[in-house]
Amino acid sequence: MSDLLQVLMTRIASDGPMTVADYMSECLLNPDYGYYATRDPFGMAGDFITAPEISQMFGEMVGLSLAQAWIDQGAPAKIALAEVGPGRGTLMADILRVTRAVPGFVDAADVHLVEASATLRAKQQEVLGDHLTWHNTVDDLPEDKPLFLVANEFYDALPIRQFQRDREGWREKQISQHDGALFAGLGGHAPVPVLSHRIEDTNDGDMVEICPAAGPITNAIGTRIEQNGGVALIIDYGDWRSLGDTLQALKAHAHVTPFETPGETDLTAHVDFEALALTTPSAYSKLTPQGVFLERLGITQRAQTLAAALSGEPLDAHIAAHHRLTHPQEMGNLFKVLALFPKGGTPPPGCET
């Protein structure tokens, strides 16, 4: 039995069944045994690959959108350039490289990283060098200057709770233990006020999810943007309103069952972007498919420029990466972009209202 499985069994034995959110939180971030706390899971050799790890073009387009938004807001002299959940630091490295071509942007920016994992903080320092400030939560981001922020595949790692509807109301999915194994069941009926608006669009047997941490995080980001200016680009897989069980576990690029090997697989859930939009005091854009966002920013022209210097296998890989990021049947439509920006302002390039 793994150490984390032992910890969870002991906890369930003493406190009773746990919510899916508590389970996810332990699996991902337990300081001793959690998935992100103990490893660098990215890349071909890891369990999954994210857009910035697929091609430098992703970070370049994000960087250009942020820098153009900075120019559109009058090129403020001091800004916080922030990333939540920076992983290996690849996305921020690409943003900083491409925006060096935008006079004044990098000089105006202090880089702030919100990262829970000590292992990944060390990796980020290695890639990005000095002059970084890390925070445990978005609440510690600066409140005295404009905030230009990106979150890629961050919200999907936040713990969710799952509720199943039946004739009498909602029952929450919970994790129990039996004979040395964990299993998922349903708790008793209980009122769930935050789901009152979901009665109209669900049927008996449907599962809905809520992400309790997502609202306060979005509110903290949106409050800073509304007060001091800036923009946020929130990029993730999901949709405007969640329906169904979207919890998934990935190991070595394959789907596995979420409750079997706690701490050893990446656990994610689709992001309910409506829930984010409802909690920000700032303006927000239409939900934009990632492929559309990248095309609007000129990824195809950029891909052609880079292709001119390539041939053979690297050229094939480059073309495949462009396709993977943008094609509707790959990441182009599954992943979406929601931009936050000040009320009365304009959305960052790539997004529309």
Residues that bind ligand SAH (CB under 6 A): 28-29, 36, 42, 50, 52-53, 85-87, 91, 114-117, 120, 152-154, 157
Rounded to a whole number of angstroms, the minimum distance from the CB of residue 50 to ligand SAH is 3
Rounded to a whole number of angstroms, the minimum distance from the CB of residue 37 to ligand SAH is 8
Cβ distance 19 to 158 under 8 Å?
no
Q: Residue type at 165?
A: R
- 168 Cβ contact list (under 8 Å, min separation 6): 189
Residue closer to ligand SAH (CB basis): 55 or 117? 117
Phi and psi torsions of 333, nearest 5°: -115, -30
- 69 Cβ contact list (under 8 Å, min separation 6): 148, 230, 231, 341, 348, 349
The CA-atom distances, in angstroms, between 99 and each of 94, 106, 118, 262 are 8, 7, 27, 40
How many angstroms separate the CA atoms of 339 and 353, rounded? 9
Residue closer to ligand SAH (CB basis): 96 or 283? 96
Rounded to a whole number of angstroms, the minimum distance from the CB of residue 58 to ligand SAH is 8
Residue closer to ligand SAH (CB basis): 42 or 237? 42
Rounded to a whole number of angstroms, the minimum distance from the CB of residue 216 to ligand SAH is 11
Residue closer to ligand SAH (CB basis): 120 or 141? 120
Residue closer to ligand SAH (CB basis): 210 or 283? 210
In DSSP terms, 192 is beta-bridged to none
Q: Could you tell me whether strands 335-341 and 266-268 are parallel, antiparallel, or unpaired per DSSP bridges?
A: unpaired
Residue closer to ligand SAH (CB basis): 153 or 245? 153
Rounded to a whole number of angstroms, the minimum distance from the CB of residue 40 to ligand SAH is 9
Rounded to a whole number of angstroms, the minimum distance from the CB of residue 85 to ligand SAH is 3
Three-state DSSP class for residue 287: coil
Helix/strand/coil (H/E/C) assignment for every residue in 239-251: ECCCCCCCCEEEE
Rounded to a whole number of angstroms, the minimum distance from the CB of residue 296 to ligand SAH is 20
How many angstroms separate the CA atoms of 9 and 20, rounded? 14
Cβ distance 325 to 317 under 8 Å?
no
Residue closer to ligand SAH (CB basis): 116 or 276? 116
**Which residue reads 């409750």 in tokens?**
259
How many angstroms separate the CA atoms of 307 and 68, rounded? 25
Neighbours of 249 (CB within 10 A): 21
Residue closer to ligand SAH (CB basis): 135 or 169? 135
Residue closer to ligand SAH (CB basis): 85 or 332? 85
Rounded to a whole number of angstroms, the minimum distance from the CB of residue 165 to ligand SAH is 28
Rounded to a whole number of angstroms, the minimum distance from the CB of residue 163 to ligand SAH is 22
Three-state DSSP class for residue 203: coil
CA-closest candidate to residue 216, choices 268, 153, 281: 281
